[in-house]
Amino acid sequence: MSDSRKKLDEALSRLTPEQYRITQQNGTERPFANPYWDLKEPGLYVDVVSGEPLFASIDKFDSGTGWPSFTRPVFGDAVTEHRDATHGMVRVEARSAGADSHLGHVFPDGPQEAGGMRYCINSAALRFVPASALEEEGYGAFTGLFEEAGTGS
């Protein structure tokens, strides 16, 4: 077994049943019943499986949907987009590039002044790293995002 496969298997074994259902079985959590939909604290949202940086709180907005919503990923290639024709509709699925975790969906109804996109993401697919803990958790390269936005730690 390759080292990367072993690391992925170890990461998957640490997921809660809900995190596994969402990230590995393309599930969706209930709106307004998840930990990050209304979190306002500055910080970084990373893939719960791989730890890959996905979204920053500076790009988060209240979409009124009950799920965390972002205008863009922290890096353009951090999230991949795929056609999803399940549930009798055609949508754009968002997946993490590194671990291929199902994150949620992308819609073209976000704030126009920020590009018009809404990345509607399941909280269970994310782990939140507060801006004040970025350095100690190995994400120190991202502290500048929050200092520039005036939301530093």
The catalytic residue positions are: 120
- The one-letter code for the residue type at 122 is N
Half-sphere CA count of 85, side-chain side, radius 13 A: 0
SS3 68: coil
Among 78, 35, 38, 37, CA closest to 54: 78
- Give the CA distances from residue 1 to residues 24, 56, 78, 97, 133, in Å, rounded to whole numbers and listed in that order: 20, 34, 26, 21, 34
For residues 112 and 117, what is the distance between their CA atoms, to the nearest angstrom?
8
Residue 105 in tokens: 């969906």
